[in-house]
Amino acid sequence: MPTKYEEMCDVAKSARKEWLAHCERCRQYMATLVGGFVTYCQIPDTGAVYLCWDQETQSYTEQEEGEHSFAGAMTFDDAGDCRLGICLILTPRGEQPWVSFGLLVSESNGIMIVRLERDKAVQLDLENRNQCDEFYQNIVEKVKRSFTESAGPDTEPIGFKRSVLAAGDSQ
């Protein structure tokens, strides 16, 4: 018969194993989601930069030198939910415009939950091409609107962040 201490150790070990499995599933969901978006939009290799969530500043940030790798930019909160910032480079490097946004991926009862920062979370079946395409098209429409509509008071730092050439912004 195990001691109470051994029981606690077993529960902790089991919880840790499940938490790591949850993180890995969220990582895989994110990879599939972003890969699908890149394919849907036909984004070239140089067309996206991955940003890491900075808890202190509550914003997505670029690496000081070089770029974050896709996996290196993903961060996990205490629940094991995954965050990733994406910056789309819409003209040649170093020029304007660009737009960035954050994605959050979590899991509930084996179902992937995704949300664009500040948007409502939605269930997304990665096996359902139409559902995924609808989600990707929503991102495309938000990016396009970010360049044709003036910035609202709560567009940054977590939601869509636009280059200075977006409508209503000054240089």
Separation of alpha carbons 147 and 165, rounded Å = 8
User: What mean pLDDT comes out for the span 63-85?
Assistant: 81
What DSSP assignment string belongs to 1-64?
A: ---HHHHHHHHHHHHHHHHHHHHHHHHHHHHHHHHHHHHHHT--GGGEEEEEEETTTTEEE--S
Tens of pLDDT, residue by residue over 125-157, are: 999 999 999 999 999 998 888 777 765 555 443
What pLDDT score was predicted for residue 61? 78
Q: Among 50-59, 109-118, 153-162, where is mean pLDDT lowest?
A: 153-162
The band of 80, judged by pLDDT with boundaries at 50, 70 and 90, is confident
Q: What is the pTM of this model?
A: 0.79
User: How are the residues of the chain apportioned to helix, strand and coil, as percentages rounded to the nearest 5?
Assistant: 35, 25, 40
The band of 40, judged by pLDDT with boundaries at 50, 70 and 90, is very high
What pLDDT score was predicted for residue 127? 93
What pLDDT score was predicted for residue 138? 92
Percent of the chain with pLDDT over 90: 40
The band of 170, judged by pLDDT with boundaries at 50, 70 and 90, is very low
Q: Among 70-84, 117-131, 139-153, where is mean pLDDT lowest?
A: 139-153
* 133 or 73: which leads in pLDDT: 133
The band of 169, judged by pLDDT with boundaries at 50, 70 and 90, is very low
